[in-house]
Amino acid sequence: MNELPTIPDPTPAPAAVHPSAPQSAPQPNYASAPPPAAPPAAGPSITDILQRPLTVSVIVIALLLAAHAWSTRNSLTRLRMEMARSVQKGEVVNAQTAATANSVQDLAKVLQEKVAALENRQQEAQSQQLALEQLYQDLSKNRDEWALAEIEQVLSTASQQLQLSGNVQGALIALQNADRSLSRSDKPQFITIRRAIAKDIDKLKALPTVDTVGVALRIDNAIGLIDTLPMLADEKPVLPAPVVKARKMDVKVKADAKAVAPAPAPDTYASRAQATWRAWSDEMWTDIRQLIRVRKVDSPEALMLSPEQAYFMRENLKLRLLNARLALMSRSETTFRTDLLAVQDALTKYFDTRAASTQSAQNLLRQVQAHNLAIEMPSLSDSLNAVRNYKSKP
């Protein structure tokens, strides 16, 4: 800023007196002397100008403002350059960010698809897990119920077989298997059931045993003998058994007599002829005796059976014995006795009771009849009631 210099006042200013300075001696008054002549007027010098405080302040301020303006301009220039570089970098970063965002979006879509698939699989796995847990709970909860239901079914079947066919061994096996199944669970709640099963086992073991297999085998042997038994209506009846036994006794008596008799006479022609004649006459007399036989028959109709009727008679006896065998298995005492009595009556009425085979068949039937099938079988109600009472508990 250009300022015009001011014209100095021609009157000189009084000199400033410093307070500490010593006062000078009073000057003599030369008022009467004329003043000297003034020099010619000239412009203010730079020194004078600089000695003025206001001017200095203005100059300093002007210089400071100029320096501040120059500094501000340089700062703005640098700021513009930095802003330009920042904008360029921002644009590059924005481009990279946009590319990265696009890739991230694509990746996010893929991840969302995978997450959706995983969620579906997780839901399926959770549903399967829930189903498995429910199944396991049902299994663990109903395992005892299933075991008791199986034991109840086994005991019920064994009780029916025991009452219908008297199968004591089968019932014992069923009770022992049920007790073994309960012992494997090792639960104190089953003590009552096991106690009832033990009582039923003791009852079955206390029953009298019936040799069912042996009786059935004897019946089978009697069935096998039916076809070999001689009938009264046969054309050539078999020699009676007592005659054979008598002959054997005669041979034995003769042997004993020969042993006791004295030594025979010397072998001569006459003794040999006599022995030959005696043997021939005995044989001829035996044959003649067999030509005519007298029998006492209580039922004359037995002699009038035709071969066809005799065949059906034998088959009927076999059916009777088979029916008796079935009655033995089913523990039907009445049917068993009735069939055996009918077979024995038929053997006595239509067959030759003197024959050895007929007597053997009758002996077998008598042995079969000696067995008592009228045994009261106990029921397994105690065990069944114990199982059912346990199942009915809440």
329 has a pLDDT exceeding 60 = yes
Q: Which of 300-304, 360-364, 384-388 has the lowest mean pLDDT?
A: 300-304
**Higher-pLDDT residue of 290, 65:** 65
Name residue, tokens 């010619």.
Answer: 40
What would the two tokens of residue 37 be? 């002549």
Structure tokens given for 195: 């106690």
The per-residue pLDDT of the chain, averaged, comes to 75
What's CA 210's distance to the chain center, in Å? 40
Three-class SS state of 101: helix
**Tens of pLDDT, residues 234-274:** 655 444 444 444 444 454 445 554 444 445 555 577 777 78
**pLDDT score recorded for residue 301:** 63
Q: Given this model, what pLDDT does residue 36 score?
A: 52
List residues bridging with 231 in a β-sheet: 351
Q: What are the sequence ranges of the domains in the chain?
A: 210-241+301-376
Per the model's pLDDT, the better-predicted residue between 187 and 265 turns out to be 187
Phi and psi, residue 138, nearest 5° = -65, -40
Helices (H), 292-380: 307-329, 333-350, 356-369
Please report the pLDDT score of residue 4 as a whole number. 42
The distance of Cα 257 from the centroid of its chain, to the nearest Å, equals: 86
Highest mean pLDDT among 51-55, 75-79, 161-165: 75-79
Quick one: residue 52, left, alpha or beta (phi over 0 = left, psi -120 to 50 = alpha)? beta
For residue 352, the tally of other CB atoms under 10 A from its CB is: 22
Is the predicted pLDDT of residue 195 greater than 60, yes or no? yes
pLDDT in tens, 350-380: 888 888 888 888 898 888 888 776 666 777 8
